[in-house]
Structure 1
Amino acid sequence: IEWDMVPYDVQLLGGVALLQGRIAEMKTGEGKTLVAVAPIYLNALVGRGVHIVTVNPYLAQRDCEWMAPVFNYLGLNSDVIDKYDAHSPGRRTAYRSDITYGTNNEFGFDYLRDNSFVVDPDQLVQRDHHFAIIDEVDSVLIDEARTPLIISGPVPQPDDDRFTELRSPIDRLVSQQKKLVAQFVADAEKSLAERDSMEGSDRKRVAELEAEAGLALLRASRGFQKNKKLRKLLSEPGVAQLLQRTEFTYLQDNAKNMPFVDDELYYALDEKQHAIEMTEKGRQFISKAAGQPTDLFVLPDIGVEVAQFEQDYSKATAELETRYENESLDEEKKQNKLLNDRRLVKKDLEDKKRTLYSEYADRAERLHAIEQLLKAYTLYEKDVEYIVQDGRVMIVDTHTGRVLPGRRYSDGLHQAIEAKEQVKVQAPTQTYATITLQNYFRMYSKLSGMTGTAETEAEELHKIYGVDVVVVPTNKPIARDDRNDLVFKTRRAKYSAVIDKIREYNKKGQPVLVGTTSVEVSETLSRMLKRGGIKHNVLNAKRDRAEQEALIVADAGKQGAVTIATNMAGRGTDIKLGPGVRERGGLAIIGTERHESRRIDLQLRGRAGRQGDDGVSQFYVSLDDNLMRLFSSDRVAKVMDRMNLEEDAVIEHPWVNKSIERAQKKVEQNNFGIRKRQLEYDDVLNAQREVIYDRRRHALLGERMQGDLMDMLRDVIEDIVGPHYAEGTLEEMREDILRTLAFDLEIDRETFVKLGDDGMVERVFETAMDFYNRKRDALARPFHDSMAKLQSSDQANKPERVFVDFTDGRKIIRSVVKIEDAVESNGQEVNDAMERAALLSFIDSHWTDHLRNLDELKEGIGLRAFGQRDPLIEYKMEAFKMFTGLMGTIGHDFVSFVLKSGPLVDGQRQNVRASAPQSKLDPKKARVEKEAPKTSFGVGGDGNGQSAADRDPSSRAQPVVVEEKVGRNDACPCGSGKKYKHCHGRT
């Protein structure tokens, strides 16, 4: 190995910070990749693995290749997870390397896959979360923290396409709103013109005209703030201040007069809060345009209706009891007739509830589609938040300007945008697994990171992740000239000035890097440069290739180069100056707009002046820019008004920079608040996720399965016995036990009363355990004999594993049994494998439903603030109730399946397939490891727990069939002691 990169002292300081579990802020070009080598080596020596997290696969691959010779020389190995497919042997090997490189998303997704889709321990890829070093740590832990990692898939039965159906009414609504806003702007212009013509002759009338103009401006601003005439009018002297005064007036007293402003609009838009609210006028318009009833937006009060149904049910059952008391029948017949009639009344109640819930869900889904379409039309802009490419809507990362392939907006928003853009609306999806990056990286025992800009976010990094920021000095003093911002009235004037400056730098051969905040702006500047005959490169979401991007950025320091980059694409790649560039002033940085985060601006500036090189940076800002328009234009506009500047005029002053930085701090505080609030909500889910994933891991590894099953069995029995004992309904309790646990409890009423509640639970539990153990033994014996024969046969390609399908008459669960384990355990491994597969299946399906229910809860929980209740506390309480119900449902279904199920025989397959629910999760199919001999066993590989009903019949492996065909009057093989036709032979 050649020793040609000796670390500087400041690089050793950075290494010490990483070793201590801190974040090292080191400027661009200071050699962060080399800084990480020493702490990586020292932490890898303990043999628990070190994860190096980067922002894209190219950087992960590059850094691994650069440093591999050093680590190999030191006796350590390294690999990159992004090179391999999920759950592939290569990825498992990469995680078992001493040092593992990869992207933040893939580390997080592998964690979710390991805890959501894996059905065999051999499929697990990740090890413990020991130590991680995150490159560009601010991008990962701050910028991307608001977007949770989600693995989703199609819903079993997709909804009909409401988005396409409702697109036209929403499109017309938005058009009407724009016309209305144009009218308000015209009214404001008219009032202001009349005011100016009076020259103060009638003060009362002048005040009236100003009030009229202010109200019209406020309505226009809340209706469509980006209206070009409105933006132009606000740039005139005094108009922006008039709008602010009017807004302040109506916001007083908790904005109680704001409805007067909004009632004339179809909907009110708050861009700062990224929120939209439809008015009564808008609701009436949509109802009419969509051909829906006028009460479309009124949801029925389900609680009141259900309470009435329950009251009617109680009244009907009381009448039945009174009627049968007066009939002269023997007690047994009377009880049987009463039981049957009660069932009919109960069925009628359930039918009424189902109808009510169906109507409610239909209307709620329609309203949800309207809300999401309105958001898509008003808050999400093409070529800013997303692009349309190859007939698909692709999300753009607002922090990096890159496309996020495979990502979709949740909660129907992505479908709404697809309907808006008139591309194919993809099938709706549901969440299978989710985690925020905040909670994922908090799992690491030690966390550290590197970036050029972390000091501005030091408070958040300490509060949320518990890590401190250390600012490491540069090796050489910074010589870059950071100039004051240039502020223009309009974007047109700003862009013209930018092009003139690029032309000036280009003429003298000085390289220029132009930073933009959106795809739209980069394309606009590119067209202007083409017209001017200036050669240039563009890096944005439409040209998203990390390797090509890095090469272009690396060449951006050559003489005469002009590069346009959206939100500092190419992060992590050095821009080294070419020959003759230092003499021409070094790299010139032009920012076309201030980003809402100071860090992004500092990153852009930091591309110039590496290792003491010369350079210059300057931002060009207009009052039309989003940051200025929403947060800071009033202060700057006042000064421009006083100076009476023309549209093309520019101001440059240090306090303008301070004013803009104040605006950025406002946005940063707001975004920190959003991330903190999101984390508080996700912490609730995280606690539940840990319990579910622990229970799932027990099932996967077969640990504590017996203990978990006995706990769940006792809970199920308590749920059955408790209510029935309180009401004294012995026969109904026996029926519930038979229906749920598959055995008939022999007990008379005298013993039932004498035992008491707790004693009854113990009696049923002991009977259930006895039944369970007899059933296991009855199943194990024939399986052991069959598999022992298969193991001892002389066949060349003997299978290592077999599929065994079990069913309870409704659901089919496929388990994968290792033949060697089955023989060694005297056939009990068949039972264990079934229990593992069943518990995994029920956990996965019910957890998916629970995630959807939590999303729906979170969506509406904010409304409880109107009742003076803290939404977060309410969410915690409701989520806990839902989770308690989830655990009960999983336990009930699992215990019931274990006690009721038996091996699936061919005669049952068709009947079960017709009633078997569709699998919600669609994990990777089990691999076939060896060629199957001709036998009744279904030979397979890792197994996936998916129901046989969901497989392609042509490729389906046959289940294990080890017994002769059971006659209808024979004893049932499950061990219940009943005839087959009265037990598992029932269809």
Structure 2
Amino acid sequence: MAVAPRLAAGHRPSVAATALSSKFSVSKATNWLVFDVPAKTPRARARARGVSGRRYSPSPRAALGGLLGGIFGGGVDTGESTRQLYASTVALINKTESEISSLSDTELRERTSVLQQRAARGDSLDSLLPEAFAVVREASKRVLGLRPFDVQLIGGMVLHKGEIAEMKTGEGKTLVAILPAFLNALAGKGVHVVTVNDYLARRDCEWVGQVPRFLGLKVGLIQRWYEDVCPSVDELVLRPFNYCVIDEVDSILIDEARTPLIISGPAEKPSDRYYKAAKIASAFERDIHYTVDEKQKSVLLTEQGYADTEEILNVKDLYDPREQWASYILNAIKAKELFLRDVNYIIRGKEVLIVDEFTGRVMQGRRWSDGLHQAVEAKEGLPIQNETVTLASISYQNFFLQFPKLCGMTGTAATESAEFESIYKLKVTIVPTNKLMIRKDESDVVFRATTGKWRSVVVEISRMNKTGRPVLVGTTSVEQSDALSEQLREAGLPHEVLNAKPENVEREAEIVAQSGRLGAVTIATNMAGRGTDIILGGNAEFMARLKLREILMPRPCKEDILAHAV
């Protein structure tokens, strides 16, 4: 029996064990988009599972260095030096464009086979780059109706070189990824493209995945709930590490680096103790029975707290290793004071679901460790699920450093360039924008109280809405988004809400598609952050497809969705 690494059940579904025998797959955050050339081996089926853990904190020195570099660095790098560096290669690609565009669809696909044969004969990928990029550009024009700009070709070359490409918001990073992915897949060793969440993984697989499919490559999608055991080697999904492209690289390698990959197993503990501890915690008072350090996310019992707890439980020592009551009580207090409903988690049916602080999305399958998740379940009066124990783990740093060739792209990498260089040995290269940036960034407005802040937000939304401007309002939690939604309702302003609640997640694509329409107001958590493409005027093509789907396949109503969640 062959064994492949799995992502732990009951932990965050992040970087997954990946497939493949020659295909292009996408999975969740870390979601894989894997390009590869077709092979004669049987198609591998992906199986992997779960994840959870702790964060890499940037050093004060690195943070200070980035700040001082921004202040005294002698002006903003617009990427013109990068444009000049790759100008000759871009000119070569453009020179072959007329020849490539004259090919029929069949002839264009045959170019993939020709390039594969050249790679098999030993031609370097660098020598294949101009023709490969020209082929992908033409395929993109025919399949997606999008012709990659010269700066996108430059971004693809930076990624092929094994560097981080900083490309500003709206410059088309998703389209850029398929250029080096196609090129490196020609060698037959597979390519992984990693993105930050399930939604983007599915979207990118369905959208830009059409280009490699058109050119004869296999495309697949890897997400959560795969197994760690395969009945035969044909079903193993983790092939040798080769080349990895990470979308939103700063989010995955720095912001979420505290979350290692974990293989876990169940650990049974008596559930009645969690309920008893929750009852004690609810009766205790802050600063009398316990103290709270919100910055460190820790709690401590006072002398009175110790005495009262031991008396209630009729025990002589809370830290008796045979009973371990201290961990139950402290977790119950943490659940009460530090883990808030609709901020740190939501409840769906009879399940506590963690809301990711960086993405605003529900982390399906992820659970807090060391009994904390059970303490939250007890606080909410929900059934207690088994605790998990860590059997094996690997940090993001060690996992991604196993790739001989690693690269990434983001709109904000320069400020973390020192960390990328020291931790991952990755150079950050600024890619120029296609057009001069004309956006104006206004100064922050600071309020003494949140009531005044939100009142001002409503007034500002109303002012902009009267002019017809579409408005996107970012909030940091589900609770905040719902509170602002209530204020807008009272003000008579129609709007949409996009947060981690199931009835909103189910409509995510629809809400995003409409958020750029005239007069639209959209309140969102971080879900509408990375990778979200809002088109001014709205996405008419998507809405037309949506209306057809509603007519042909009616969507379940809110009550049906909630009933299904239970």
TM-score (norm 2): 0.66
Which of these residues, 113, 138, 150, is aligned with residue 250 of structure 2?
138
Deviation at 1:404, TM superposition (A): 0.6
Give the direction of change, closer, same or farther, for the CA distance of 1:134–1:550 in structure 2 (3 Å limit): farther
Which of these residues, 37, 47, 56, is aligned with residue 197 of structure 2?
56
The Cα offsets for residues 959-981 of structure 1, whole Å up to 9 and x where unpaired, read as: xxxxxxxxxxxxxxxxxxxxxxx
> Matches of 2:358 and 2:463 in 1, distance apart?
29
2:166 equivalent to 1:25? yes
2:279 equivalent to 1:168? yes
> Matches of 1:559 and 1:160 in 2, distance apart?
53
Number of aligned residue pairs: give it.
397
Give the direction of change, closer, same or farther, for the CA distance of 1:393–1:131 in structure 2 (3 Å limit): same
Q: Which residue of 1 aligns with 2:303?
A: 280
Q: Which residue of 2 aligns with 1:86?
A: 226
2:525 equivalent to 1:502? no
Which of these residues, 465, 481, 492, is aligned with residue 522 of structure 1?
481
> Matches of 1:426 and 1:150 in 2, distance apart?
19
Larger helix percent:
1
> Matches of 1:520 and 1:545 in 2, distance apart?
14
Q: Which residue of 2 aligns with 1:126?
A: 238
CA contact (8 A) 2:271 2:384 kept: no
Deviation at 1:25, TM superposition (A): 1.4
The Cα offsets for residues 120-172 of structure 1, whole Å up to 9 and x where unpaired, read as: 534422101111111122222222221223343333x5435311122222211
Deviation at 1:544, TM superposition (A): 7.0
CA contact (8 A) 1:391 1:424 kept: yes
CA contact (8 A) 1:54 1:134 kept: yes
2:541 equivalent to 1:578? no
2:148 equivalent to 1:7? yes
Secondary structure at the counterpart of residue 499 of structure 1: helix
Secondary structure at the counterpart of residue 347 of structure 2: strand
> Matches of 1:158 and 1:271 in 2, distance apart?
28
Q: Which residue of 1 aligns with 2:338?
A: 379
Deviation at 1:545, TM superposition (A): 6.5
Secondary structure at the counterpart of residue 550 of structure 1: helix
Secondary structure at the counterpart of residue 370 of structure 2: coil
Task: Read off the aligned partner of 1:409 and give its amino acid letter.
Answer: W
CA contact (8 A) 2:499 2:505 kept: no
Deviation at 1:39, TM superposition (A): 1.0
The Cα offsets for residues 482-537 of structure 1, whole Å up to 9 and x where unpaired, read as: 11111111111111100111111111111100000011110000001111111111
Structural RMSD (CA): 2.3
2:285 equivalent to 1:291? no
> Matches of 1:464 and 1:499 in 2, distance apart?
43
The Cα offsets for residues 797-848 of structure 1, whole Å up to 9 and x where unpaired, read as: xxxxxxxxxxxxxxxxxxxxxxxxxxxxxxxxxxxxxxxxxxxxxxxxxxxx
Secondary structure at the counterpart of residue 367 of structure 2: coil
Secondary structure at the counterpart of residue 305 of structure 2: helix
Task: Read off the aligned partner of 1:164 and give its amino acid letter.
Answer: Y
Deviation at 1:72, TM superposition (A): 4.1
| Paired residues for 1:502-581 under 5 Å | 502-543=461-502, 548-569=507-528, 571-578=530-537
> Matches of 1:436 and 1:463 in 2, distance apart?
16
CA contact (8 A) 2:361 2:527 kept: no
Deviation at 1:59, TM superposition (A): 2.4
Q: Which residue of 2 aligns with 1:270?
A: 293
> Matches of 2:306 and 2:235 in 1, distance apart?
52
Task: Read off the aligned partner of 1:502 and give its amino acid letter.
Answer: I
> Matches of 1:135 and 1:550 in 2, distance apart?
20
> Matches of 2:166 and 2:396 in 1, distance apart?
21
> Matches of 2:327 and 2:429 in 1, distance apart?
47
**How many percent of aligned residue pairs carry the same amino acid?**
50
Tell which deviates more after alignment, 516-525 or 370-379: 370-379
CA contact (8 A) 1:415 1:428 kept: yes
The Cα offsets for residues 214-255 of structure 1, whole Å up to 9 and x where unpaired, read as: xxxxxxxxx4xxxxxxxxxxxxxxxxxxxxxxxxxxxxxxxx
> Matches of 1:524 and 1:64 in 2, distance apart?
35
CA contact (8 A) 2:194 2:246 kept: yes
Task: Read off the aligned partner of 1:548 and give its amino acid letter.
Answer: R
Q: Which residue of 2 aligns with 1:457?
A: 416
The Cα offsets for residues 668-708 of structure 1, whole Å up to 9 and x where unpaired, read as: xxxxxxxxxxxxxxxxxxxxxxxxxxxxxxxxxxxxxxxxx
Deviation at 1:68, TM superposition (A): 4.0
Between structure 1 and structure 2, the one with the greater Rg is: 1
TM-score (norm 1): 0.39
Give the direction of change, closer, same or farther, for the CA distance of 1:58–1:385 in structure 2 (3 Å limit): closer
Q: Which residue of 2 aligns with 1:488?
A: 447
> Matches of 1:434 and 1:277 in 2, distance apart?
29
Task: Read off the aligned partner of 1:565 and give its amino acid letter.
Answer: A
CA contact (8 A) 1:419 1:425 kept: yes
Deviation at 1:564, TM superposition (A): 0.5
Give the direction of change, closer, same or farther, for the CA distance of 1:370–1:512 in structure 2 (3 Å limit): same
Deviation at 1:431, TM superposition (A): 2.8
Deviation at 1:56, TM superposition (A): 2.6
CA contact (8 A) 1:555 1:561 kept: yes
Unaligned residue ranges in structure 2 (runs of 5+): 1-104, 106-140, 539-566
Task: Read off the aligned partner of 2:168 and give its amino acid letter.
Answer: K
Give the direction of change, closer, same or farther, for the CA distance of 1:455–1:544 in structure 2 (3 Å limit): farther
> Matches of 1:570 and 1:554 in 2, distance apart?
14
> Matches of 1:396 and 1:16 in 2, distance apart?
36
The Cα offsets for residues 71-96 of structure 1, whole Å up to 9 and x where unpaired, read as: 245443322223x9635xxxxxxxxx
Secondary structure at the counterpart of residue 322 of structure 2: helix
Q: Which residue of 1 aligns with 2:358?
A: 399
Q: Which residue of 1 aligns with 2:437?
A: 478
Q: Which residue of 1 aligns with 2:69?
A: none
> Matches of 1:448 and 1:15 in 2, distance apart?
10
> Matches of 2:339 and 2:390 in 1, distance apart?
23
Unaligned residue ranges in structure 1 (runs of 5+): 88-112, 178-222, 224-264, 300-359, 580-987
